Amino acid sequence: MNRNRKLMWIGIGVGAVVVVTALMAVLGKKSVRAEGVIDAPPSEVWAVLTHAEGYPEWNPVFVRVEGEHRESSTMRYQMAGPDGSVTAVEAKVVRVERERELNQAGGIPGILTFDHHWTLTPRDNSTHVVQHEYYRGIGVWFWDPSWFEDAYGRAIEGLSERVQRLRESDDSAQGRP
């Protein structure tokens, strides 16, 4: 095979790798979802959800949180993995709709990004809570985020328990049964 022909095939091979990698980065996506109902109005759920310093009291995933839940601000998290390891994560607050939605996103574009949503929907005297997170990038082809679904379910349970404890302490402080 002559030199030009070899270079042509090398170029085609490199081009194919670049195209496949780009497609994997663009087309790679996964998501997880957890939901539950909390026996309290959205205002009480929102107060706990947006109190960053209180996360260690109820959230088994984000064991430490720094920052303010306001649009364009940066939040810093210590995230506990399923193996007990703790990883630092930063997220930008994308959207805040008081007592309805908290949206944060972060990651490395093209490699692995996340778009996390807390959604609160009023239901009679309770709140339907959903955590939904979308992942994109080449990394999703090699990563299994399914453990987040269970962890986010536990976070909603923890959020519910924390809201209920606060309600009970308010009732007892005001002399209610």
Alpha carbon of 135 to those of 21, 56, 126, 146, 156: distances in Å?
Answer: 17, 25, 30, 11, 20
Enter the pTM of the model: 0.81
Question: What whole-number distance in Å separates Cα of residue 96 and Cα of residue 156?
Answer: 19
pLDDT of residue 176: 39
Return the top range by mean pLDDT from 6-20, 39-53, 160-174: 39-53
Q: How many CA atoms are closer than 13 Å to the CA of 107, on its beta-carbon side?
A: 18
Does the pLDDT at position 13 exceed 80? no
Higher pLDDT, 132 or 144: 132
Q: What angle do CA 28, 25, 67 make, to 5 degrees?
A: 85
Q: Is residue 177 very low, low, confident or very high in pLDDT (cuts 50, 70, 90)? A: very low
**Per-residue tokens: 89:** 């994560």
Provide the mean pLDDT of the chain.
Answer: 88
Give the DSSP letter of residue 84. Answer: S
For residue 141, what pLDDT band results from cuts at 50, 70 and 90? confident
Q: With a cut of 50, say whether residue 31 has pLDDT above it.
A: yes
- Judge contact between 49 and 41, C-beta under 8 A: no
Residue with tokens 């998290």: 77
Please, what are the domains in the chain?
Answer: 28-173 (3.30.530.20)
- Asked whether 168 and 157 are in contact (CB, 8 A), the reply is no
Give the mean pLDDT of 134-157: 90
41 pLDDT band, cuts 50/70/90, is very high
Q: Say if CB 36 and CB 161 are below 8 A apart.
A: no
Closest CA to 102 of 134, 71, 61: 71
Q: What is the pLDDT of residues 81-139, one digit of tens each?
A: 989 899 999 999 999 999 999 999 999 998 899 999 999 999 999 999 999 999 998 88
Instruction: Provide, for the chain, the percentages of residues in helix, strand and coil under a 3-state DSSP scheme, each rounded to the nearest 5.
Output: 40, 35, 25
Asked whether residue 8 carries a pLDDT value surpassing 80, the answer given is no
Distance CA 170, CA 44 (A): 12
Using the predicted structure, report yes or no on whether residue 37 has a pLDDT greater than 80.
yes
